[in-house]
Amino acid sequence: MALIKAAQRGDSDTVSHLLTLGPWSSTETWCALTTAAANDWSDTVSVLLAAKINPNHTARVRAPSPHINTTGRIPTSTALFWASSFGAAASAARLLECGAHVEGCGASWRSTALGIASRKGHAGVVKTLLAAKAQLDGFACFGGCKPLAEATENGHKAVVALLKAALIPDAQPIKF
């Protein structure tokens, strides 16, 4: 629990020290990485990734969290999904640099990272994911809508513009 709490605070030095005291279970390191990523503690994310923690690992854990679903468990999701969900663009970029799958998803949420970032209007994350070649036809949350539909429905104009530009990269604006 100490590793997770240090990651939650973004305390890179303590995380680094605790990692040397291991061994840590994959669930503990997943929780630490996911917590640091969601809070956009990109330095702490870097420390955890330097320790060879798998950026694509998912785990189902019981833990006190504001993100618990109705089953009482944190949904099975990648650190990239959580970074995208909370608008943590720097952490998302670092995870992608270290091998996170751009299509990594939140299985319990049935959404890709691009889908959740589009739904929530996180333009910086959307831009990062598009640069990493995220598929535009991946699912966003709950209803199975595509990212463009989610962004449009939720009034996220900057995200809509980014997604439309990615769909039709050479399109010229229409002049009236």
pLDDT of res. 84: 93
Q: Decide if pLDDT at 71 tops 60.
A: no
Which residue's entry shows tokens 């998302």? 92
Pick the CATH number of 2-59+71-167 from 3.40.640.10, 1.50.10.20, 1.25.40.20, 3.30.565.10: 1.25.40.20
pLDDT at 106: 60
Report in angstroms the alpha-carbon separations of 118 from 51, 55, 111, 132, 154.
31, 21, 10, 15, 9
| Confidence (pLDDT) at 167 | 86
Of 97, 58, 53, nearest in space to 81 by CA = 58
pLDDT 10s digits, 29-43: 888 999 999 999 999
55-64, 84-93, 101-110, 137-146: range with highest mean pLDDT: 84-93
What are the pLDDT digits (tens) for 8-27? 999 999 999 999 998 888 88
Per the prediction, the chain carries an average pLDDT of 84
Q: Which residues of 18-52 are buried (b: 16+ CB within 10 A; e: fewer)?
A: bbeeeebeeebbbbbbbbbbbbbbbbbbbbbbebe
Q: What is the pTM of this model?
A: 0.83
Domain boundaries, the chain: 2-59+71-167
Residue 68 has pLDDT above 50, yes or no: no
Two structure tokens written together for 57? 């690992």
